Structure 1
Amino acid sequence: MTHRWAIKILPVLATVLRRRKRPVGKSWRMDETYIKVAGQWKYLYRAVDRDGDTIDFLLRAKRDCAAARKFLERSIARHGEPDKITIDKSGANTAAIGSYNAEHEAAIELRQSKYLNNIVEQDHRAIKRIVRPMLGFKTFRCASILIAGIETMHMIRKGQLDCPEGQASSVASQFHSLVV
């Protein structure tokens, strides 16, 4: 009830940003983090490239191969196939990338290292800093919409919006160019 305007406007902003986002690199870091929804822990899958730019994110109820595979396929459909993906020792992500490579005859190099994955772990911090004071979300639908809005603002703050040269240097002007 209190976020009625956000529930209507944030999906529109996320869609517009997705169309105007700069291209991402071919070396990805993929990980998941926990978000509390209706008193239960849910999983926010996130991927960033080598430069720290957000590739994609997806909130899922379970942490299994199917959830990781759904996230991977959605990210590849939006941004193309990466050359390599770095993950931690997660079995679900390993199985998802392995099954994707086998099914699509792809050659995505898989690297498992918790130290190389620090970029995405540090990027989680910005999202968690905003979500933690909220004390969780009431519904899964509202959580996914509000997280999309938080991620959208985080991408704008990181300068991922593709703007003409010399325009939209500040966060406020980038947001204004996105809205107009």
Structure 2
Amino acid sequence: MNPFHGRHFQGEIILWAVRWYCKYGISYRELQEMLSEPGVNVNHTTIYRWVQRYAPEIEKRLRWYWRNPTHLGTWHIDETYVKVNGRWFYLYRAVDQRGFTIDFYLSSRRNTKSAYCFLGKILNNVKKWQIPQVINTDKAPTYGGALSRLKREGKCPPDLEHRQVKYKNNVIECDHGKLKRIIRATLGFKSMKTAYATIKGIEVMRALRKGQASSFYYGQPQGEVYLVNRVFGL
């Protein structure tokens, strides 16, 4: 089925707008102005609806391409704050030693249950040989409790080492900063649903920018555009 059926614009234009919004940290009105220069006249509210509909779909269709964590070295796990309707929510994130994104999870709470859900999501979506020997987190006790439960349930290797060395998480804290520069342009989110939809698009575009799927478009002059369009059959 054509994912763009019933839309008044071509799929390439819609994906172009969604990619730019999620990649460059610009407002919907700024993107409306930028698109008007090459003759694409679209209202900023329409672009918003495109992002809500297609950003999660881009992340879903590209997930197999960009998620390729290495089992060597350490995974770094941490959370950062995201404002949703005036409240602070918690964006759990994980990167490997290269700084490549492994996964992310938005939660309204920062507790052992949320850490358990996030770590369980990661472990459920990777191959056994991709699980590292070491996971590094901050000093929050929630991660230790979550990992202990996962080990008891047989969902996590019993010999997986959990370290809590703050300075060794500089790699993910630096990545948080780059991500939040893009998120700040949104001027906040109205609901958890709209926040998560947008963040999925931002995270996948960050992953592509890091080169996490570059092996699938090697030699293509506009590889990122090529890959996104290809997974939508364009």
| TM-score, scaled relative to structure 1 | 0.92
1:148 maps to 2:195? no
Q: Name the structure 2 match of 1:107.
A: 159
Q: Name the structure 2 match of 1:64.
A: 111
1:51 maps to 2:98? yes
Query: Where in structure 2 are there 5+ consecutive unaligned residues?
Result: 1-43
Q: Name the structure 1 match of 2:138.
A: 88
- Hey, what's the Cα distance between the residues in 1 that align with 2:90 and 2:96? 20
| TM-score, scaled relative to structure 2 | 0.71
SS in 2 for 1:30: strand
How far is the alpha carbon of 1:84 from its aligned partner? 1.2
SS in 1 for 2:166: coil
How far is the alpha carbon of 1:22 from its aligned partner? 5.1
Specify whether residues 163 and 90 from structure 1 end up closer, same or farther in structure 2 by C-alpha distance, changes over 3 A only.
same
- Hey, what's the Cα distance between the residues in 1 that align with 2:112 and 2:67? 29
Q: Deviations over 1:46-84 (max 9, x none)?
A: 000011000000101100111110000111111233321
Specify whether residues 110 and 174 from structure 1 end up closer, same or farther in structure 2 by C-alpha distance, changes over 3 A only.
same
How far is the alpha carbon of 1:91 from its aligned partner? 1.4
The structure with the larger Rg is 2
How far is the alpha carbon of 1:178 from its aligned partner? 2.3
Equivalent pairs, count: 178
How far is the alpha carbon of 1:162 from its aligned partner? 5.0
- Hey, what's the Cα distance between the residues in 1 that align with 2:184 and 2:218? 36
Q: CA RMSD in A?
A: 1.7
Bigger strand fraction: 1
Q: Name the structure 1 match of 2:64.
A: 19
User: 2:217–2:227: 8 Å Cα contact kept in structure 1?
Assistant: no
User: 2:217–2:226: 8 Å Cα contact kept in structure 1?
Assistant: no
Q: Name the structure 2 match of 1:158.
A: 210
- Hey, what's the Cα distance between the residues in 1 that align with 2:110 and 2:204? 23
- Hey, what's the Cα distance between the residues in 1 that align with 2:176 and 2:111? 20
